[in-house]
Structure 1
Amino acid sequence: MTIGGGNDGRYVVFIASSFDAELLSLTTPEAPMEEAIELVAGGQRGSYPAQECVDRMTTAKAVAYFVSSGLADPQLCWQVG
């Protein structure tokens, strides 16, 4: 699991189950498709689609589930790719 961001309480969250596996991205499907959000991830500022940015509570829920199971929380929205 990789987490970036944090400014304005928004994060990008990715999971790769194994080397060269497809990434799962935690999403906010109700966010506007055309909106972009500036976040700092990995020490670099970047523009991310709003649908790929989630709030702190959603991030914490994803982390807690992942730490206990090693899997993506099935109650959250994940996108493959």
Structure 2
Amino acid sequence: MHITTDHHSVDQAITSPTDALSALHALDGKNSTQLIASNDNGCLMIGGGNDELYIVTFVVEEDTAFFNLLADARAQDEQDIALVTGGQKGLFPARLCVDKATATEALLYYIEHAAMHPGLNWEQDV
């Protein structure tokens, strides 16, 4: 499994959960704004980092389906939040902006199981 960050297009092999957490903690919303953990079955993309908020998307195989992780605390909030992901600033619905603990939980599960965390709230992007 590899994690790619957008900061100077670094591609690093992930050999432990510690490596994955280091890549997540490097996201700052300025110099490093997106990481992609991937394997043959798809990928988990995490973008943002500014204000400790993240957009987390699980992509199945060859872009067959996309699932966005929902922020339970802001599920009904209609406000948009500005985040930088993939080097581009964008406005995202608050319900899609998860905290660091939730992003960490999704990433660690993905690193171990190469799948979406079944205990988290995901919404298919149609």
TM-score range (shorter-chain normalised) is over 0.9
Is 1:11 matched up with 2:49? no
Maintained 8 Å contact 2:78/2:95: no
Q: Return structure 1 stretches of 4+ with deviation > 6 angstroms.
A: none
Q: CA offsets, 1:14-66, max 9 Å, x none?
A: 01121131101001133143111000000010000000110000000000000
**TM-score (norm. length: structure 2):** 0.62
1 or 2 for the larger relative contact order (CA 8 Å, sep ≥6)?
A: 1
Larger radius of gyration: 2
Match of residue 27 from structure 1: 70
Partners of 1:29 and 1:62 lie apart in 2 by: 14
Question: How do 1:1-81 and structure 2 match up within 5 A?
Answer: 1-31=44-74, 32-81=76-125
Specify the SS of the correspondent of 2:72.
coil
Q: For structure 2, list consecutive stretches of 5 or more residues without a partner in the other structure.
A: 1-43
* TM-score of the superposed pair, with normalisation by structure 1: 0.94
The alignment-based identity, stated in percent, is 36
**2-side partners of 1:59 and 1:38: how far apart?**
17
